[in-house]
Amino acid sequence: MTTRLAVVTSRLRAEERLLFTELEHRGVDFTRLDDGKLQLSLAEATQPFDLVWNRSLAFGRTLYTVRILESQGVTCVNSASVVATCGDKVLTSLALERAAVPTLKTTVAFTPESALAAMEAFGFPVVLKPVVGSWGRLVARLDCRSAAEAVLEDRATLGSWHQQIFYVQEYVEKPGRDLRVFMVGDEPIAAVYRTSEHWITNTARGATVQNCPVTDELSELATAAAHAVGGGLLAVDLVETPDGLSVLEVNHSGEFRNSIEPTGVNIPAAMVDWVIASAEHAS
């Protein structure tokens, strides 16, 4: 491969180690870029790469890096548009709604009073999420009005302005698990159940992972969700509701370390092969 490839990281997760190993196994020459050391001129292109694969942990750094590089002609994985959509729960929900992909009912409000009214319209329990955030942090299940009042006051008083964009979502009784589908381009290569006794079924919060067969229904929904946000290397999270599967969110830099063994799928290898194909297309 003659394409000049760079991989942007911040902290090196197990995922990035696995990806680097797969790149090295294929003899792919690539440059590691530490986003903490990047200096990106807006006036001129300073990064001598054809394709940049961003695996940074930080949404803000990722978003501006790929926006700047794309404007200077560099192909980015994932694209700036995809990163912007997936990193913001409001934009993700809008994209899913536009594409008629089943997703949970959500209302956005900007004051504690209007957020409380939105919650009462849903009925308790209800879920409050930060617009930007991950790993289940600051996601709150509010079981009654008084709990909601307390949390909303805390967010309004102590939170940044991001915390005062109140993303209010219906609460769904799920069977102690949700589903994650790993999308590589148009292909759902693997899926897992994430099971926990806690209502937040995130592996970063201790959920365990089991293989989930990629049924036609799951494949169709995950593919539709991936297309709705622009496609690429994505992890689509879904929940089983009484009315069927519903898409929760789409991750642009999904973690997969715990999903390789239960699925038997070499997820990083598939991702690297897709990036190599993209790089050959970009060069």
Q: First-to-last CA distance in the chain?
A: 9
Instruction: Return the number of the residue (119 or 132) whose C-beta is nearest another protein.
Output: 132
Task: Using the CB atoms, write b or e for 72-107: b if 16+ within 10 Å.
Answer: eebbbbbbbbbbbbbbbbeebbbbbeeeebbbbebb
Q: How far is the CB of 134 from another protein (least distance, A)?
A: 2
Q: How far is the CB of 132 from another protein (least distance, A)?
A: 6
Q: How far is the CB of 9 from another protein (least distance, A)?
A: 6
Q: How far is the CB of 232 from another protein (least distance, A)?
A: 14
- DSSP, collapsed to helix, strand or coil, labels residue 83 as helix
Alpha-carbon separation of residue 266 from 113, 133, 190, 270 (angstroms): 48, 27, 9, 6
Instruction: Return the number of the residue (157 or 283) whose C-beta is nearest another protein.
Output: 157
- Per the CB < 8 A criterion, the answer to whether 180 and 235 are in contact is yes
Number of C-alpha atoms within 13 angstroms, CB side, residue 204? 9
Q: How far is the CB of 58 from another protein (least distance, A)?
A: 6
Q: How far is the CB of 91 from another protein (least distance, A)?
A: 14
- Per the CB < 8 A criterion, the answer to whether 250 and 92 are in contact is yes
Alpha-carbon distance 58 to 255, whole Å? 13
Alpha-carbon distance 121 to 115, whole Å? 10
Instruction: Return the number of the residue (132 or 209) whose C-beta is nearest another protein.
Output: 132
Instruction: Return the number of the residue (57 or 91) whose C-beta is nearest another protein.
Output: 57
Alpha-carbon distance 77 to 275, whole Å? 8
Instruction: Return the number of the residue (58 or 104) whose C-beta is nearest another protein.
Output: 58
Instruction: Return the number of the residue (106 or 203) whose C-beta is nearest another protein.
Output: 203
Alpha-carbon distance 55 to 69, whole Å? 15
Instruction: Return the number of the residue (24 or 173) whose C-beta is nearest another protein.
Output: 24
For another protein, the binding residues (CB under 8 A) are 9-13, 16-17, 20, 32, 34, 57-60, 87, 132-135, 137, 160, 162, 235, 251, 253-255
Place of tokens 């794309």: 70
Instruction: Return the number of the residue (4 or 55) whose C-beta is nearest another protein.
Output: 55
Q: How far is the CB of 57 from another protein (least distance, A)?
A: 5
Q: How far is the CB of 84 from another protein (least distance, A)?
A: 13
Alpha-carbon distance 247 to 85, whole Å? 14
Q: Is 254 left (phi over 0), alpha (psi -120 to 50) or beta?
A: beta
- Signed CA dihedral, 260, 178, 54, 279: sign only: positive
